[in-house]
Structure 1
Amino acid sequence: MSYPSVSLWFDQAAAAGDPLTPRPGLDGDLTVDVCIVGGGLTGLWTAYYLLRADPTLRVAVLEAEIAGFGASGRNGGWCSALFPVGVQAMARRHGLGPALDMRRAMNETVDEVGRVAAAEGIDCHFAKGGTIELARSAVQFERVRASVAADAARGGIDQYEMWDEDQTTARVRASGVVGAGFTASCARLQPALLVRGLADVVEGLGAQVLERTPALEILSRTPDNGTGGAGPRVRTARGTVYAQHVVRATEAWTSQLPGTRRAIAPIYSLMIATEPLPASFWSTVGLSRGETFTDARHLVIYGQRTADDRIAFGGRGAPYHFGSRIDPSFDRHPRVFAALRRTLTELFPALRDFGFTHSWGGPLGIARDWNASVGLDASSGIGWAGGYVGDGLSTTNLAGRTLTDLVLGHDTQLVHLPWVGHHSPAWEPEPLRWLGTNAGLTAMTAADTEERLTKRESVAARLMSPLLGH
């Protein structure tokens, strides 16, 4: 495989001198204290904090390709405080206090990622410029205003601001804007530089990062029964890893492992990037402080101005594939790429004069109730984290710190957050999973069309909201 073709981010990493050469893989059976399955940000953050807490630990990270090959090296570069379950929904399940604790933890996590990147010398272009949520219709404006008001009623934990048209255009000038919401709890970064740099740091701390070593099966601890039971283990084609604890950090690829095939649905999100844009473009458009941007439509879009003055822009719209299939051919979807180019050019019409150089995609993981989770099962010895619904660039860090406390038995505030130990219901069997998931995608697309035509809040979106963690 040509790893630079995975994403703009991998291409830039290669241009910066990363050879993207796979590290040696597993060579026979291995015994460690902690085996982490998945060399993305969840797995690497877990290894990092474990070894910072106890440098004597024997830690192995198994990766099917190379570090960051999955969503960690393909995402939109938003290190945000977003969590897939909203405060209101979480408060209904756990109470308002725990829900607000989760919000505080997510806000703090953005700064923690920046702190570690600086401390470890990982130049990932971290710039905490916040997120601008554009309102481009009266309906969108009211939706954003309601979200700002809800945050204010909760004490302003997210420091969510409402901007009028003049305040918005002072920071970014996009077509049709009537206002915006702004939150400071987001940083733009280059995700491949973060995950690849973190892999180097983890290896330097003593972890074995074993690449081109896909896990075939994660096996639970066997009972002792007086016969000397074995701990959990991971079977690969290159040997078996025995451990005291195994951490499953496989996100969308969780759906490919025996025993967890219906735990996560792999949903594709795709991205495009422009060529580097001249100063004349940016003097008109703005985004001079590292802001990320979106708008208040229902079908998610996300963008950033990169450190080399491109726009990297992505969104949903690619179909779910029957049987939770994951295949490299699904990373490219010409119809979705064309729609993304139209959408971005509609936002910034001056882009008609410039070209697009990169397009890519990949699967992200969604649990049935859209509730990301982290936990450690004492009986099996297996820990897990995932189901980030695309909000994983920062949530993976919180997961790594939480898993470290769980594995080491530390009773901290992190292990009492409401996502810890959460078990989502399994996705429906096929063909119901295929029908329902793609119907939801169609509904969100229809909701935006409905609002454009009726100038009122979408009925379709309101009906779908409880199914999306809101």
Structure 2
Amino acid sequence: MPFQSEPTPATRAALRDTASTPFWLDDPGRPAPQPPLTADTRADLVVVGGGLTGLWTALRAKERDPGRDVLLLEGASVGWAASGRNGGFVAASLTHGRGNGERHLPAEVDRLDALGLANLDAIEKSVAQHGWDCDWERTGSLSVATEPYQVEQLRGQAGFLDADAVRAQVDSPTYLAGVWTREDTALVNPARLVWELLRTCRELGVRVAEGTVVRGLSSDAEAVHVRTGSGSGSATVHARRVALGTNVFPALLRRYRLHTIPVYDYVLVTEPLDAGQRAAIGWRNRQGVDDLGNQFHYYRQTADGRILFGGYDAVYHWGRSLSARHDQRAESFQTLAAHFLQTFPQLEGLRFTHAWGGAIDTCTRFFPFFGTGHRGRVAHVAGYTGLGVGMTRFAADVLLDLLAREEAGPTELTELELVRSTPLPFPPEPLAWAGVEVTTRSLVHADRHEGHRNLWLRTLDRFGLGFDS
């Protein structure tokens, strides 16, 4: 059924008095901040970025070589950006879904699927090995059809559920069919995963400096020089190798600055459901759920019995604008609240306690790309496009292999076409804004016309730039 987005008295009441802090970060158990870097220093490896990419890179570096001196630099606080704002879905896919992988890397997709499942298993092993308190649940994912034409997209797939069967899993009148894949997705509290990674990194000897903005890189025959801060608060780190996990922020290797754009995504979290409300929707197997529109929703339960509901709107601001003022968008919250109540009308009266947004580092192939600079002594990754929680550990291993390639030679990971290829960059303004606007309008049109892709979308498909989720 088509989703209606108009605000109503019920949606306005449900959104009254929401907190703007991301639910995951609104936690009294968050760690105390680490002091900033205030003096020049040296390190074997500098990791720039204190999100999941940077923390996994620091951890994997110490696991490979416990004697390596690793310094992690974070401009604000660890996990404050995408790593602490996402839905907490940990997907096995390294290519933003099998279909997208087949479009971009058809000869490699089977191998990447196997590597992705092995990567998810490795994350689960680390959670158990280190005793991380991060609400890890390997519940799988439930993809649901809410329009008749989407039923045919699912029919014949392993795990297919008809309308009655899917509603026996999660009871929504919008569901017409579904597919439950049991092993490809886990759920996690992403902020606690960040904080537990931080704890383990520090226990292994990683030095961490928060509130330390990296301003630029330079190099000579001896080292890569990482400049931080400004004025009297500036300091330089002289490093043998540098790994960049700066995500949506402007790339420190300038050649990659046009390869991503920031697209803002929005999320709501409800108050905890009571026993009657839980019984009304079922959902005893706690799968992560997504629907099949180009403008799609993702939702899940939290450990304390709330529902996180996000997605649908994806908002780009002129000039690749990144700003805290974009984190709050009343129109998107009203849209999500209206869609939530259509998905679960039996929960009318439930309030939302948290509403927030954040920027996704989007690239034209919708899964990460890698690069190097400064004669192979700096490695870079970006372009996760919203499905990066699981991919970050895989990316960490790729970054470390790229940095070791001069001494150790190529590895299985560095020889992957996924690693060796680079997506097309986005154009500069005004073409970037115009392209995003036309594409967004075309995807909305497709959702309203049984998935039919117009000439613009078919042209993007032909050039390897098209995507349906």
Give the Å deviation of 1:28.
Answer: 1.7
Q: Are 1:65 and 2:76 counterparts?
A: yes
State the superposition RMSD in angstroms: 2.3
> How do 1:86-235 residues align onto structure 2 when only pairs under 5 Å count?
87=98, 90-91=101-102, 94-96=105-107, 98-145=108-155, 148=157, 160-184=158-182, 185-219=184-218, 221-222=219-220, 229-235=221-227
Secondary structure at the residue paired with 2:395? helix
Q: Are 1:7 and 2:35 counterparts?
A: no
- Counterpart-to-counterpart distance in 1, 2:181 and 2:309: 19
Name the structure 2 match of 1:416.
415
> How do 1:286-301 residues align onto structure 2 when only pairs under 5 Å count?
286-301=282-297
Secondary structure at the residue paired with 1:43? helix
Contact between 2:280 and 2:346, CA under 8 Å: does it hold in 1?
no
TM-score under structure 1 length normalisation: 0.87
- Relative to structure 1, the CA distance from residue 405 to residue 83 in structure 2 (aligned partners, 3 Å threshold; closer, same or farther) is closer
Paired letter, 2:58: A
Give structure 1 regions of 4+ aligned residues with deviation exceeding 6 angstroms: none
Give the Å deviation of 1:404.
Answer: 2.6
Secondary structure at the residue paired with 1:353? coil
Contact between 2:214 and 2:226, CA under 8 Å: does it hold in 1?
yes
Contact between 2:271 and 2:353, CA under 8 Å: does it hold in 1?
yes
- Counterpart-to-counterpart distance in 1, 2:379 and 2:326: 29
Secondary structure at the residue paired with 1:254? coil
Gaps of 5+ in 2: 1-18
Q: Are 1:441 and 2:451 counterparts?
A: no
1:197-249 CA distances to partner (integer Å, 9 max, x unpaired)?
11111111111111001111133x33xxxxxx232222111211121111110
> How do 1:344-359 residues align onto structure 2 when only pairs under 5 Å count?
344-359=340-355
Name the structure 1 match of 2:379.
383
Name the structure 1 match of 2:369.
373
Q: Are 1:29 and 2:28 counterparts?
A: no
1:67-105 CA distances to partner (integer Å, 9 max, x unpaired)?
101100000110012344554564565552x22111111
- Relative to structure 1, the CA distance from residue 348 to residue 461 in structure 2 (aligned partners, 3 Å threshold; closer, same or farther) is farther
- Counterpart-to-counterpart distance in 2, 1:208 and 1:37: 12
Contact between 1:255 and 1:265, CA under 8 Å: does it hold in 2?
no
1:388-435 CA distances to partner (integer Å, 9 max, x unpaired)?
110100000111122233334455433333321322232201111111
Gaps of 5+ in 1: 149-159, 223-228
Secondary structure at the residue paired with 2:446? helix
Q: Are 1:49 and 2:60 counterparts?
A: yes
Count of matched residue pairs: 439
Name the structure 2 match of 1:429.
428
Q: Are 1:76 and 2:87 counterparts?
A: yes
Give the Å deviation of 1:258.
Answer: 4.9
- Counterpart-to-counterpart distance in 2, 1:61 and 1:374: 19
- Relative to structure 1, the CA distance from residue 204 to residue 344 in structure 2 (aligned partners, 3 Å threshold; closer, same or farther) is same
- Counterpart-to-counterpart distance in 1, 2:76 and 2:326: 17
Give the Å deviation of 1:112.
Answer: 1.7
Give the Å deviation of 1:277.
Answer: 0.5
- Relative to structure 1, the CA distance from residue 211 to residue 375 in structure 2 (aligned partners, 3 Å threshold; closer, same or farther) is same
Secondary structure at the residue paired with 1:244? strand
- Counterpart-to-counterpart distance in 2, 1:126 and 1:120: 13
Paired letter, 2:143: E
- Counterpart-to-counterpart distance in 2, 1:133 and 1:308: 23
Contact between 2:20 and 2:328, CA under 8 Å: does it hold in 1?
no
- Relative to structure 1, the CA distance from residue 359 to residue 67 in structure 2 (aligned partners, 3 Å threshold; closer, same or farther) is same
Contact between 1:373 and 1:386, CA under 8 Å: does it hold in 2?
yes
Q: Are 1:308 and 2:331 counterparts?
A: no
- Relative to structure 1, the CA distance from residue 352 to residue 93 in structure 2 (aligned partners, 3 Å threshold; closer, same or farther) is closer
Contact between 2:136 and 2:188, CA under 8 Å: does it hold in 1?
yes
